[in-house]
Structure 1
């Protein structure tokens, strides 16, 4: 799976491509920080305008809107470029995997579900990584940028349960986000979601294989197909049930999550310790830090799917190596 990074043929895409994508995401995060600063300035201007008639000119107001439009336009263009580059990067990663599978397919074709591994699982692997990988990198870079920013914004104001402690906001965000992530991991472990996803794909592969065989072999009876589909049905039903339990905890957490920043800021808001602009900056920065720390929580269903795909591809490659060793016993000595 990782020959993309170890084969000279793909080195330029693997390493230069990684650098360009990482650098682009970093620039995008910098623009997001600038937008956060804009929120503070703009909402302070709005508060001033609402407090006293004609205290803000139309030119100042429209100038603020245009400033945001410029930053947003740059962010959109950069986001499109990142998406385009990432798609090409991951397709080439997939191509490096498929290239090797093709070279050993004489042995691999006898492995159950080989066609599904080579075609379906490689495309799933690349598509999941396309979203998950960029989101992970973005989350890390956002934490690096926003953690000190949130600490600075929280200095000198009273935070619920933490008082005037300068690390109150970031500590609150950390406890809430990490607590939710631990909850999600525990639920997924108890419900055995990765194992269920893996079993689901295996049963689907067995059913698909029998359908393909039935196209050319008239001896395959409908009863055989029905038995296989019964297995598919039962594992799907079990999956639906387990995900209900997972989503009860997940959705309840996310609903409470909407109010968390306001709860922590309650003493400062009620006490009039912050302006509207500063409050907007804090809430947005808090959301960025919290969202980055909640990466595992938010992406958990996708991570489960990726883990299942990775597990299947790893087993597939292990079976290929075993087949090669059986065909060439002298080479293993």
Structure 2
């Protein structure tokens, strides 16, 4: 899964240099986010001044603030589109490297149930998910590096917390505690999902194989056999849906309820008028970025479950290849 792409000289430009390029551009996008956060502060202060004192702000000044935002995000759009285009090619090259490796050993593994699906579908899904999760994880780290100092400084404007009182840099601690709570919560309620996803692919592969064999052999894919296999598929899907039900309840409850948390904890500061609208927007946006970075596992848990399932299937696939190669070497030695 990894050696065929990252340790093969043929793919050096894509695997090593391509990865470095993706990470650099991701960091540049984070820096643009920082610029946007600074823009929020100045622009909303301008809006507050305009709303508080009529005609205190000229329309040209207001329009200049809007144009500044347009200029910042225009660069972001160009970079984001170019990066997405490059990533699609990057993922396909990774799939190609895996596909080439598996096909070189096809004679050793073609008898394995679901072999065709693993080569044709799982390679693409694995490369796409690993790339996506990898970039998301690195973006989370980079966002923390960029926004944590900002939130640390802006938190000094929060005079006190409700029911607690004065806590220095309180919003940083709030973001960390919120993310830890969400991560532990979803890890506990979703502990059975990886195994169910893995089992789901097994029953799907058995059903699909019987149908494929039925295309060429009249003795296969008999109604009773197909019915029994599909019952297994349905049973596992319904079990999976039931477990996803309480997982989704926990996930969406956590994500939605935590939206209001920074407002509650900043309540005394807001009602006392200790900060301006611009500073409030900067704090909220910085808090959101930091909290989202700490919540990487929360937002990615469903994708991680899918990846674990695919990894298990491909790992079992590669074990078969390695066993066959070892057996061949032993036969030659004898």
Which shows bigger deviation, 151-160 or 109-118? 151-160
Match of residue 178 from structure 2: 176
Counterparts of 1:16 and 1:325 in 2: how far apart (Å)?
33
Gaps of 5+ in 2: none
- Alpha-carbon contact 2:153-2:169 (below 8 Å) kept: no
Render the CA deviation track for 1:121-148: whole Å, top value 9, x for unaligned: 1111123234323222211110111101
Gaps of 5+ in 1: none
Render the CA deviation track for 1:136-189: whole Å, top value 9, x for unaligned: 221111011110100011114224256433321100010011110111111111
Tell me the secondary structure at the aligned position of residue 258 of structure 1.
Answer: coil
Tell me the secondary structure at the aligned position of residue 41 of structure 2.
Answer: helix
Match of residue 219 from structure 2: 219
Matches within 5 A, 1:114-263: 114-160=115-161, 163-189=165-191, 192-220=192-220, 221-263=222-264
TM-score by length of 2: 0.96
* Cα RMSD (Å): 1.4
- Alpha-carbon contact 2:95-2:124 (below 8 Å) kept: yes
Tell me the secondary structure at the aligned position of residue 190 of structure 2.
Answer: helix
Runs of 4+ in 1 over 6 A off after TM superposition: none
Tell me the secondary structure at the aligned position of residue 123 of structure 1.
Answer: helix
Match of residue 309 from structure 1: 310
Report how far residue 330 of structure 1 moved.
Answer: 3.9
- Alpha-carbon contact 1:156-1:166 (below 8 Å) kept: no
TM-score by length of 1: 0.96
Render the CA deviation track for 1:68-114: whole Å, top value 9, x for unaligned: 00111111111111111111112111111101001000111011110
Counterparts of 1:130 and 1:105 in 2: how far apart (Å)?
26
Counterparts of 1:12 and 1:21 in 2: how far apart (Å)?
12
Counterparts of 1:244 and 1:314 in 2: how far apart (Å)?
29
- Alpha-carbon contact 1:159-1:169 (below 8 Å) kept: no
Counterparts of 1:129 and 1:5 in 2: how far apart (Å)?
13
